[in-house]
Amino acid sequence: MRQRVAPNLAWILLERGMQVSIGIVVVAILARALGPVGFAHFQYAQSLVLIAASFALVCGAEVVVPRLVTASAPHAEAARHALLAHAFVLRFVGGVIGYLLMLGYLYATSPDAEIWHAALLLGIAILLREPFGVVSAWMQARTHSRPGVLFNTAALGTKAALVGALFLFGVREVSGYAAAFAIEAVVLAAMQMLYFRLRMCEHCAGGLSGVDWQRSRLHELLTSGALFWASFMLMMGARRVDQLVLQQAVSAADFGAYAACMQVVDNFTILASVLAAGLAPAYVYSRGNLAEARTNIGHVALALTTAGLVGGVVIAACAPWIVHLLYGHAFAPTIALLRAAALLSALVFADVGLTLLAVRLRRPDWIAIKWLAVFVVTLLFDLVIVPRYGSWGAIAGYGLGNAVATLVGVALWWRCRPTTSVVTP
């Protein structure tokens, strides 16, 4: 078993490691090119876009992929094409709603013009990434994800090259770098659509116009993934609400220092999902016995927490070197924030491990309840504490939110413990 898990985990780590590494380089260039204030404006706009983008995650892969796999002959290809077309429309409508809500929030809060320009350009990804991401679900259903990896890498490389070129030419405008991110989304969507049209059968020749549109199918796809959709929106809200509150309470330079800190922490905590994805199939999902799966989930959660704590200690110890290497001396206030956030991030690893139980039992309602609790607690805490304590209040809210997620996970894990009945003679 371990011989199968290790190579699989290594490939996952290699792919994710490349994406994270390029992402860190891009962020470092942005920080040095834009400075603390410009970087703050860019990161705030990106936070708004990430929250708005969650609206486009309606009808996610957990809904589309199983239906693509079970499509049967004689009209399997036509059925798959119709399914993908309906999913595309739902995601695109969700993306439009998210984009409009983002514009409404910007209008209500009246931020700096740089934030407006950055959000308008970065928001292009809302309309493209998830709608055209149905092609990735199609490739996943065919167990042929290699093209998707290559497309993501090519688009990411395009963005990195553009960002590097802008930096070398001395560009200091936020909108220029936001345009590079928008081009990445355009390139990725174009490659996905071209590949799909070349590989799909003649049923896709007519595009969306040749689809037998059914309102009942749209409704079924919408309701089937509603809990997953709500969970992801609540998760993104809980993860980014600190920056929305903080931006209104502190100077742009202080916000930039906090955003730089969370960029490092976010890239580190991605490791939790990668490790869980590599361990879960063999140690959790393949276990037919719930008691054994629950025990293994406890072991995985403990192992992930240990890994998160060790990594957090290393990051905290190396915080001055990390900040100066990535962001430069202008971001010196980030060092202390990073030390605290890195240690608190071990709770994220614990939460990811414990969430495997809800996934194993196919209980998206548990995940939605957890993120609703985290979102409400974090929002209320930040609204009270952040205006008084600034970035340190946001750090405390980050830790509290992760603690709530972990406690909910522990409670659900304990609730599912096996019960033994005593037989009396």
20 part of a folded domain = no
- pLDDT on residue 51: 94
Q: What is the pLDDT of residues 27-48, one digit of tens each?
A: 999 999 999 999 999 999 999 9
425 part of a folded domain = no
Biggest CA pair distance of the chain? 86
Name the residue among 355, 338, 357 with its Cα closest to residue 405: 355
- pLDDT on residue 8: 45
- pLDDT on residue 75: 61
> Same structural domain for residues 184 and 80?
yes
- pLDDT on residue 14: 64
Q: What is the pLDDT of residues 205-226, one digit of tens each?
A: 455 555 677 888 888 888 888 8
- Res. 64 pLDDT band, cuts 50 70 90: confident
- Res. 425 pLDDT band, cuts 50 70 90: very low
Give the C-alpha separation, 26 to 396, whole Å: 28
- pLDDT on residue 378: 96
Q: Per mean pLDDT, which range of 73-87, 183-197, 245-259, 376-390 is the poorest?
A: 73-87
The pLDDT mean for the chain works out to 87
> Same structural domain for residues 243 and 375?
yes
Q: Per mean pLDDT, which range of 280-284, 366-370, 395-399 is the poorest?
A: 280-284
- Res. 241 pLDDT band, cuts 50 70 90: very high
Between the alpha carbon of residue 144 and those of residues 57, 138, 140, 244, the distances in Å are 22, 9, 6, 39
Q: Per mean pLDDT, which range of 30-39, 191-200, 332-341 is the poorest?
A: 191-200
Average pLDDT over residues 359-373: 89
Residues 6+ apart with CB under 8 A from 291: 418
Give the C-alpha separation, 285 to 229, whole Å: 22
115 part of a folded domain = yes
> Same structural domain for residues 144 and 128?
yes
47 part of a folded domain = yes
| pTM of structure | 0.88
Give the C-alpha separation, 420 to 200, whole Å: 53
Joined tokens for residue 260: 């730089």
- Res. 423 pLDDT band, cuts 50 70 90: very low
Give the C-alpha separation, 242 to 259, whole Å: 10
> Same structural domain for residues 389 and 255?
yes
- pLDDT on residue 9: 52
Number of separate domains in the chain: 2
Give the C-alpha separation, 170 to 174, whole Å: 12
- pLDDT on residue 221: 86
**Last residue within a domain, chosen from 193, 224, 255:** 224
Q: Per mean pLDDT, which range of 228-232, 344-348, 371-375 is the poorest?
A: 228-232
HSE-CB for 134 with a 13 A CA cutoff: 27
Q: How far is CA 285 from the centre of its chain?
A: 22
- pLDDT on residue 110: 75
Name the residue among 59, 217, 71, 205 with its Cα closest to residue 134: 59
CA-based radius of gyration for the chain: 22
> Same structural domain for residues 208 and 239?
no
- pLDDT on residue 201: 52
Given a cut of 90, is residue 314 above it in pLDDT? yes
> Same structural domain for residues 301 and 379?
yes
355 part of a folded domain = yes
- Res. 69 pLDDT band, cuts 50 70 90: confident
Residues 6+ apart with CB under 8 A from 304: 272, 275, 276, 349, 350, 352, 353
Give the C-alpha separation, 87 to 349, whole Å: 32
> Same structural domain for residues 327 and 410?
yes
Q: What is the pLDDT of residues 377-422, one digit of tens each?
A: 999 999 999 999 999 999 999 999 999 999 999 999 998 877 654 4
> Same structural domain for residues 202 and 277?
no
31 part of a folded domain = yes
- pLDDT on residue 202: 47
Average pLDDT over residues 273-289: 78
- pLDDT on residue 385: 96
243 part of a folded domain = yes
**Last residue within a domain, chosen from 189, 224, 259:** 224
Given a cut of 60, is residue 252 above it in pLDDT? yes
Average pLDDT over residues 176-200: 91
Secondary structure of 293-312 in the HEC alphabet? HHHHHHHHHHHHHHHHHHHH
**Last residue within a domain, chosen from 224, 241, 259:** 224
With both helix axes pointing from N to C terminus, report the angle between 2-53 and 252-280 in degrees, rounded to the nearest 10: 140
Give the C-alpha separation, 297 to 175, whole Å: 45
Give me the domain span that covers residue 284.
226-417
Q: What is the pLDDT of residues 77-106, one digit of tens each?
A: 777 778 888 899 999 999 999 999 999 999
Name the residue among 125, 96, 98 with its Cα closest to residue 186: 125
Secondary structure of the chain in the HEC alphabet? CHHHHHHHHHHHHHHHHHHHHHHHHHHHHHHHHHHHHHHHHHHHHHHHHHHHHHHHHCCCHHHHHHHHHHCCCCCHHHHHHHHHHHHHHHHHHHHHHHHHHHHHHHHHHCCCHHHHHHHHHHCHHHHHHHHHCHHHHHHHHCCCCHHHHHHHHHHHHHHHHHHHHHHHCCCCCHHHHHHHHHHHHHHHHHHHHHHHHHHCCHHHCCHHHHCCCCHHHHHHHHHHCHHHHHHHHHHHHHHHHHHHHHHCCCCHHHHHHHHHHHHHHHHHHHHHHHHHHHHHHHHHHCCCCHHHHHHHHHHHHHHHHHHHHHHHHHHHHCHHHHHHHHCCHHHCCHHHHHHHHHHHCHHHHHHHHHHHHHHHCCCHHHHHHHHHHHHHHHHHHHHHHHHHHCHHHHHHHHHHHHHHHHHHHHHHHHHCCCCCCCCCC
